[in-house]
Structure 1
Amino acid sequence: MIDIEELARILRDAAQREILPRFRHLEPDQIRRKSEAIDLVTEADEEAERWIKAQVAELAPRALFVGEESVAADPGLLGKLAEADLAIVVDPVDGTANFAAGLPLFAVMAAVVSGGETVGGIIYDPMGDDWMLAEKGGGTWRVRPDGQRTRLHFAEPKPLAQMVGVASVAFMPAEKRPEILANLAKARLFANYRCAGHEYRTLVSGFADFAFYSKLMPWDHLAGVLLAQEAGGYVARLDGSPYLPHHVDGGLIVAADRSTWEVLRREVCTL
């Protein structure tokens, strides 16, 4: 296995070396559009991933490295994830659009996958300089660089009308979007941070009650799902099946418990 605390330190070092020095200092030619206007990559993403990959190669030389930018260059990497004995899945800058716009809401994420199962997850906040991390069976913790640790818990279940949640509408089918947006109005409040890392951090801190996603890239969700589960939450795809590292579709609901998940699936997430 891999030392999760050492992996967390690698993410922090990458942020301090390659990400924070570029925050609000990017030149136009250091920001590029990928598939569409809201899908960006910056020099910070690329250099941070390059540095993390090199450090992971020393920490776990036999691990498959699956980074968001590595997959952009070699899509075949995704197909290897399900069969890998050990894999490290990395999002070097989650919330790139926020980062490029100078908004201080972005994260660095990594997940450890072993035998087709997520067994470790880290979400590092460069601006707050702390990690939220989990290992399977060990709970979810906020960890500060000085070693201070605080255990985290999902919010208690509550009625839909009192729930606060997050929902990503960008990748919903266009024909279903009006219906789902109307359904989301049944909740007390919903938002979208354009940064899955901070959405999951909000959930496992007990300050949100649900999340709904339609697109499932592993670097966006593996770490956060494990954190949510280890904090006491319930997570499943829209058909009720478990979310696994190789899944890239099927939708996802994160909730306080199974009963709440079923309410959200019936009343809100009608894909």
Structure 2
Amino acid sequence: MTTSVDVTVLADLLRRAAKAEILPRFRRLGRDEVRAKSEATDLVTEADEQAERMIKAEAQQLWPDALFLGEESVAADPTLLGRLAGADLAIVVDPVDGTFNFAAGIPAFGVMASVISGGETIAGIIYDPMGDDWVMAEKGGGAWLRRPDGEVQRLQAAEPVALDQMVGMASTGYLPVEKRAEVLGNLAKVRFLTNYRCAAHEYRTLAGGHVHYLMYNKLMPWDHLAGTLISQEAGAYAARFDGSPYLPQHLDGGLLIAPDKASWDTLRREVVTI
């Protein structure tokens, strides 16, 4: 059985798929190449589907014993999600994270992959097609910015600051309706709140030390496994809203990431009152 995935090879595969299937379609999508899934803002494009098809085909050749789980594969067969927790080895892929941005011609989207072994995330990759570089991590090895010419730079999360000086991102669209206004009101306690509509770039920004917190409620594995590991390897603290570790099989329970445990506790107490 194949017991490991060469993360550099997987990272290069994401880049090749972006160059072959994603970038040629950026700002060139026809009307019939963009479709809504669950709602008007939940989109899929021809780029998502063709990029995932390419990544899946090559990944299955390279690592035939790994479960492949992609966002569009799960859209076609939701039962795949239930296989992730018990998989000895799995590769989870988001072919275009930030599809809404991509379809709108906004250059803030990414390609993400994570490697799962025995129910634990052991590697994460976020590729930026516009900047042509990766942020990536293997468990225990730190988080790194890597460029195609071989240059690497270690990433470090921001130093802790007081609540009223925190700058970060929060996705509130999937919060319970009765709690959304309360949490949005609580976010007035921080210095600055934004949302890129692209987890790939939000995680890159946090791992690079530019913001102090990320908050999400809906937890699909392709959106958060890679970024959470990269954030942790950059020194940040991550946990679900109840304080428990975030694991590959979790689809709810929220996720909060901060520079350290003390900052996490402050945000949980003062902002995420769920």
Which TM-score bucket, shorter chain as reference? over 0.9
- The counterpart of 1:170, out of the listed 149, 169, 173, is 173
- Could you tell me which runs of 5 or more consecutive residues in structure 1 were left unpaired when the two chains were aligned: none
Corresponding residue for residue 142 of structure 1: 145
In 1: Cα distance, 2:182 partner to 2:33 partner: 38
**Equivalences for 1:12-23 in 2 at 5 Å?**
12-23=15-26
Instruction: Look up the equivalent residue of 1:212 and give its one-letter code.
Output: M
Instruction: Look up the equivalent residue of 1:90 and give its one-letter code.
Output: V
Residue 178 of structure 1 and its aligned partner are, at CA, apart by 0.9
Corresponding residue for residue 26 of structure 1: 29
Percent identity, please.
Answer: 66
Matched, 1:76 2:79: yes
- The counterpart of 2:240, out of the listed 237, 240, 264, is 237
**Equivalences for 1:110-259 in 2 at 5 Å?**
110-259=113-262
Could you say what secondary structure the match of 1:185 adopts?
Answer: helix
Residue 102 of structure 1 and its aligned partner are, at CA, apart by 0.3
Could you say what secondary structure the match of 1:26 adopts?
Answer: coil
Deviations 1:182-205 (A, max 9, x none): 111100001010000000000000
Residue 58 of structure 1 and its aligned partner are, at CA, apart by 1.6
Deviations 1:47-83 (A, max 9, x none): 0000000110122111000000000000000000000
Deviations 1:180-237 (A, max 9, x none): 1111110000101000000000000000000110000000000000000000000000
Matched, 1:52 2:21: no
Residue 106 of structure 1 and its aligned partner are, at CA, apart by 0.1
Please identify runs of 4+ aligned residues in structure 1 that moved more than 6 A.
none
Deviations 1:226-258 (A, max 9, x none): 000000000000110000000000000000111
Deviations 1:146-190 (A, max 9, x none): 110000000001100000010001111111111111111100001
- Could you tell me which runs of 5 or more consecutive residues in structure 2 were left unpaired when the two chains were aligned: none
In 1: Cα distance, 2:218 partner to 2:194 partner: 17
In 2: Cα distance, 1:56 partner to 1:170 partner: 33
| Count of matched residue pairs | 271
Residue 270 of structure 1 and its aligned partner are, at CA, apart by 1.2
In 2: Cα distance, 1:120 partner to 1:155 partner: 21
Could you say what secondary structure the match of 2:124 adopts?
Answer: strand
In 2: Cα distance, 1:186 partner to 1:36 partner: 31
In 1: Cα distance, 2:62 partner to 2:227 partner: 22
In 2: Cα distance, 1:29 partner to 1:215 partner: 28
Residue 39 of structure 1 and its aligned partner are, at CA, apart by 0.2
In 1: Cα distance, 2:258 partner to 2:69 partner: 27
RMSD (Å) for aligned C-alpha atoms: 0.4
Residue 109 of structure 1 and its aligned partner are, at CA, apart by 0.1
**Normalization by structure 1: what TM-score?**
1.00
Could you say what secondary structure the match of 1:58 adopts?
Answer: helix
In 2: Cα distance, 1:261 partner to 1:55 partner: 39
In 2: Cα distance, 1:169 partner to 1:28 partner: 29
In 2: Cα distance, 1:103 partner to 1:172 partner: 25
Could you say what secondary structure the match of 1:109 adopts?
Answer: strand
In 2: Cα distance, 1:5 partner to 1:25 partner: 30
- The counterpart of 2:89, out of the listed 76, 86, 89, is 86
- The counterpart of 1:7, out of the listed 2, 7, 10, is 10
